[in-house]
Structure 1
Amino acid sequence: MTQLLGEFDCKLDAKGRLMVPASLKKQLPEAERDGLVINRGFEKHLVIYPKKVWDEIVADLSKLNQYEKKTREFIRFFTRGASELTLDASGRVLLPKSLLEFAGISGDVVLACQFNKIEVWAKSAYDDLLDNEPENFANLAEEVMGGKKGAADGE
């Protein structure tokens, strides 16, 4: 399973191209061959997946009961705007204009790795998000992870 690490401050050029940082590119050796997929995040951000990860997500979605209205709506909204990205010879990807507009992204961006995906945030929105860290993060950690056996000790 892909385990991406890091948080990267980047800039979009005037054409909406993003230079993938070298240290992130090293974590994505298959990206040049297989490509990447970008789509809308659950909040006002974008998400980039290695193509292999996206294919696994689509396989999971295809197993859902599409006769149920909620399922169809979820699939429709989750996949809305999904686009393939290809690294050019300079290590850049062109982000779709419609997705950039959705997320309010232009200029400065933050790439925030989470497990097998990369969140793409407008820098100001990301800073605002992190400025609103819960007052007691330890309480949130206990709520979310407290019941998980061995969560902190690697069991």
Structure 2
Amino acid sequence: MFRGVTQLCLDSKGRFAVPAKYRDELLSSCNGNLVITVDRSRCLLIYPQPAWEPIEKKLNSLSSFKPQIRSLQRLIVGNACDVEMDSVGRILVASPLRQFAELTKDIVLVGQGEKFELWDADKWNQVIEAALDFKDDDIPSELDGFSL
């Protein structure tokens, strides 16, 4: 399980170093083979390849005759990019993906269970501020009775 927020920097080639606390797990679970794709919220999603494969299979099994499904397939599967951690634990984020997520030098890697989200640091801060600025009656019904 990946959890937590880590502030990182992209180098001039578009690479970032995977935090040490995740490297060993990624090497043992998928030999450092990852898939990066886009998310509708304008961040990137990073999956260990074994976690990505059932998602891709499920998306591709849906009917492409429905315009919304086809659009989602184009967005998520069409933008998916196979990457491999290099010998020092860095990941290269392809230029089109960096452009999509508007990544600058300062980025944030957010653990989300079986995947990561990769955000531009300024955009991440805006997302967090928006998450803090909701009213009690805006809480989804799925969270009724949920407590931390």
TM range (shorter): 0.7 to 0.9
Aligned partner letter, 2:39? G
Give the percent of matched residue pairs that are identical in Structure 1 and Structure 2.
27
Which residue is 2:89 aligned to?
91
What TM-score do you get using the length of structure 1 for normalisation? Answer: 0.84
Render the CA deviation track for 1:37-94: whole Å, top value 9, x for unaligned. Answer: 0011111111101101110101111321223233222211222321011011111011
Structure 2 residue corresponding to 1:105, chosen from 100, 103, 106: 103
| 8 Å Cα contact 2:36-2:82 kept in structure 1 | yes
Structure 1: any 5+ residue segments left out of the alignment?
none
Structure 1 residue corresponding to 2:17, chosen from 19, 30, 45: 19
**In the alignment, does 2:6 pair up with 1:8?**
yes
| 8 Å Cα contact 1:35-1:86 kept in structure 2 | yes
What TM-score do you get using the length of structure 2 for normalisation? Answer: 0.87
Distance 2:35 2:122 in 1: 24
Structure 2: any 5+ residue segments left out of the alignment?
none
| 8 Å Cα contact 1:134-1:140 kept in structure 2 | no
Structure 1: which 4+ aligned runs deviate by more than 3 Å? Answer: 134-144
* Alignment length (residue pairs): 147
Which residue is 1:78 aligned to?
76
Aligned partner letter, 2:81? S
1:1-155 correspondence runs (5 A): 3-28=1-26, 29-31=28-30, 33=31, 35-136=33-134, 139-141=137-139, 143-146=141-144, 151-152=146-147
Q: CA deviation at 1:4?
A: 1.3
Distance 1:112 1:52 in 2: 19
- After superposition, the Cα gap between the structure-2 partners of 1:104 and 1:117, relative to the gap in structure 1 and judged at 3 Å, is same
CA RMSD of aligned residues (A): 2.1
Distance 1:81 1:62 in 2: 13
Aligned partner letter, 2:85? L
